[in-house]
């Protein structure tokens, strides 16, 4: 079965990611090697490499592979970069960033998901990920980050996250109402100013009670 999953990952990269202009060799390598099927419920594993989001329980989803690859590429991650992720979910996005050599601090509102993600990431020996159960609107106040990635959509960008972004840092975040098409934004802190631009329309689960 592992050979089958390996083949499905290769097909995912070749048929879903490269044709949609995911160009980073490092990101493509991460998407090819991180076992996405381990981050979804067992009864959904046969769909893990389909071109779609999947339910992971508690009304949450794992994003489609293309969106994970696109958001990762937009961050331009490099080894040793300190990254905050808001909305751990199953832990897949954190695993992709960890595979790329980043130090990942990821926070999840739902305790069950946080515990499960921590277990999976540890089993895969991603020692450069710290998982915390908590309120994502507040971010990780005791630290500042080179980059921030948000995998749940607030109505507006939380001020606390902007405060934790280092000078020159970049945040990728979906913003908008859950009942409408949201905008995936790239937010950069440059010369004490906040600069943002829209990347593409998306649909993410909402930041419920600050997840």
What would the pLDDT profile of 112-164 be if each residue is shown by its tens digit? 999 999 999 999 999 999 999 998 988 999 899 999 999 999 999 999 999 99
SS3 100: coil
Q: In 96-120, which positions are buried (b, 16+ CB within 10 angstroms) versus exposed (e)?
A: bbbbbebbbbbbbbbeebbebbbeb
Which of 161, 17, 41 lies closest to 90 in space, CA to CA?
A: 41
DSSP type of residue 130: E
CATH architecture of 53-61+71-202: 3-Layer(aba) Sandwich (3.40)
For the stretch 78-117, pLDDT in tens is: 999 999 999 999 999 999 999 999 999 999 999 999 999 9
Task: Read off the tokens for 196.
Answer: 């943002």
Specify the residue for token string 């990254």.
Answer: 83
Q: What mean pLDDT, rounded, does the chain reach?
A: 94
* Among 24, 52, 63, 183, the one annotated catalytic: 63
Question: Catalytic annotation on 63?
Answer: yes
Least confident range of 108-122, 170-184, 195-209: 195-209
Report whether 211 contacts 109 (CB < 8 A). Answer: yes
pLDDT value of position 2: 57
Residue spans of the domains in the chain: they are 53-61+71-202
Report whether 148 contacts 188 (CB < 8 A). Answer: no
């Amino acid at each position: 079965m592992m050979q089958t999953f390996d083949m499905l990952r290769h097909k995912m990269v070749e048929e879903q990611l490269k044709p949609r202009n995911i160009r980073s060799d490092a990101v493509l390598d991460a998407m090819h090697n991180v076992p996405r099927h381990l981050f979804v419920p067992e009864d959904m594993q046969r769909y893990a490499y389909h071109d779609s989001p999947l339910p992971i329980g508690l009304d949450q989803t794992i994003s489609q592979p293309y969106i994970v690859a696109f958001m990762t590429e937009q961050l331009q991650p490099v080894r040793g970069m300190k990254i905050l992720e808001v909305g751990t979910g199953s832990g897949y996005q954190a695993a992709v960033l960890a595979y790329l050599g980043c130090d990942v601090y990821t926070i999840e509102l739902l305790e069950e998901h946080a515990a499960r993600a921590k277990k999976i990431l540890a089993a895969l020996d991603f020692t450069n990920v710290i998982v915390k159960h908590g309120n994502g609107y507040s971010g990780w106040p005791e630290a500042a980050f080179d980059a921030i990635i948000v995998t749940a959509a607030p109505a507006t960008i939380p001020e606390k996250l902007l405060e934790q972004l280092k000078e020159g840092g970049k945040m990728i975040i979906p913003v908008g109402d859950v009942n409408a098409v949201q905008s995936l934004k790239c937010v950069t802190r440059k010369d004490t100013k906040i600069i943002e631009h829209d990347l593409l329309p998306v649909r993410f689960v909402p930041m419920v009670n600050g997840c």
